[in-house]
Amino acid sequence: MSELRGRPVRASCVNGTCCLAGATYTIGFLRFCKQATLQFCLVKPVCAFIIISCRGKQFVYGLHVMAKRET
């Protein structure tokens, strides 16, 4: 990371860095990128699984309640 410190960010629309034109790499910026990447790769799938399983249980429970009311 020390070799990147102070170097300018190459602006490229293909890489999604077009809004970072003129910015330089700093330790804070690199830490933010690392934290955001880890959050996306580790925390997001776990949260998505929890949400899907909770919604699935509510959906099945909701159908069960509706079936009891009709009879």
Q: Is 58 helix (H, G, I), strand (E, B) or coil?
A: helix
pLDDT tens for each residue of 15-32: 777 887 888 888 888 888
Does residue 61 surpass a pLDDT of 70?
A: no
pLDDT tens for each residue of 30-52: 888 889 998 889 888 998 888 88
Position 22 scores a pLDDT of 81
> In angstroms, rounded to a whole number, what is the distance separating the alpha carbons of residues 40 and 54?
20
Note whether 6 and 25 are within 8 A (CB).
yes
Position 21 scores a pLDDT of 80
